């Protein structure tokens, strides 16, 4: 994997705080969501946190592969579709959750499946931002977010020594 120009490492604690902040914003929009549809794999962790905070018990997944080598985004593949019951009424009252909207390709695909659903992500980049309804933090398009589930504890060189993050 090539090192990105800019990186944004996110700790478990920070991600939990950001996902709870997202839940806080979503709580003010509806008294109850029919279900959460999380986009796997990245949407699994924030969906669990948001479901707990909002008291939502029905969690569905839509499984889409886009990053095939953790370096470049490839052709989208729907590995598992959303249940037909949740697709009724075009997703009205459904909350879609993902960790990040990057280019917006995955978001556009899921939006087409559930056009009336509310789409929420923890992080958003400019290209994908118009496709989501609610997010917490925007990062530049050339920034790679290192999520806690992708990190190990290792030495990080200081920024002044040429390190990207």
Q: Where are the domains of the chain?
A: 7-146
Q: Which residues are annotated as a binding site?
A: 41-42, 98-106, 144-145
The yes-or-no answer on residue 99 being catalytic is: yes
Specify whether domain 7-146 bears CATH 3.40.50.2020. Answer: yes
pLDDT at 3: 59
What's the whole-model pTM score? Answer: 0.87
Question: Looking at the predicted structure, is the pLDDT value of residue 21 above 70?
Answer: yes
Residue 70: what pLDDT? 55
CA 142 vs CA 66, 67, 71, 75, 107: distances in Å = 17, 16, 13, 20, 18
As a whole number, mean pLDDT of residues 7-23 equals 97
Q: Please say whether the beta carbons of 161 and 53 come within 8 A.
A: no
Whether the pLDDT of residue 126 is over 80: the answer is yes
Residues within the annotated binding site for xanthine?
Answer: 102, 145
Q: Which residues are annotated as a binding site for 5-phospho-alpha-D-ribose 1-diphosphate?
A: 41-42, 98-106
pLDDT digits (tens, 9 = 90+) for 94-116: 999 999 999 999 999 999 999 99
Distances (CA, A) of 133 to 64, 124, 126: 20, 11, 13
Task: Give residue 157's pLDDT.
Answer: 78
Catalytic residue among 69, 71, 90, 99: 99
Q: How many CA atoms lie less than 13 Å away from 39 in the CB half-sphere?
A: 29
- The mean pLDDT of 8-36, rounded to a whole number, is 96
Active-site residue, from 102, 133, 142, 150: 102
Q: With 70 as the cut, is the pLDDT of residue 124 above it?
A: yes
Annotated binding residues for GMP, written as ranges, equal: 102-106, 144-145
Active site residue 90: no
Share of the chain above pLDDT 90, in %: 79
pLDDT tops 80 at residue 35: yes
Task: Choose, from 69, 98, 133, 142, the residue flagged as catalytic.
Answer: 98
* pLDDT level of residue 41 (50, 70, 90 thresholds): very high
Q: Residue 67's pLDDT is what?
A: 62
pLDDT at 24 over 60: yes
pLDDT at 164: 58
């Amino acid at each position: 994997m090539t090192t990105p120009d800019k990186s944004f490492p996110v700790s478990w604690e920070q991600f939990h705080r950001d996902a709870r902040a997202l839940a806080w914003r979503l709580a003010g929009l509806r008294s109850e969501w029919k279900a959460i549809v999380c986009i796997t794999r990245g949407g699994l962790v924030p969906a669990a946190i948001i479901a707990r905070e909002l008291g939502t018990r029905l969690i569905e997944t839509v499984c889409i592969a886009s990053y095939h080598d953790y370096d470049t985004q490839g052709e989208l593949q729907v590995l598992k579709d959303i249940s037909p019951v949740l697709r009724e009424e075009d997703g009205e009252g459904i909350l879609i959750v993902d960790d990040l909207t990057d280019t917006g390709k995955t978001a556009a695909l899921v939006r087409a499946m559930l056009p009336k659903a509310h789409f929420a992500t923890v992080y958003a980049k400019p290209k994908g931002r118009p496709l989501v309804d609610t997010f917490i933090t925007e990062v530049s398009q050339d920034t790679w977010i290192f999520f806690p589930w992708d990190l190990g504890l290792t030495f990080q060189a200081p920024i002044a020594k040429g390190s990207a993050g």
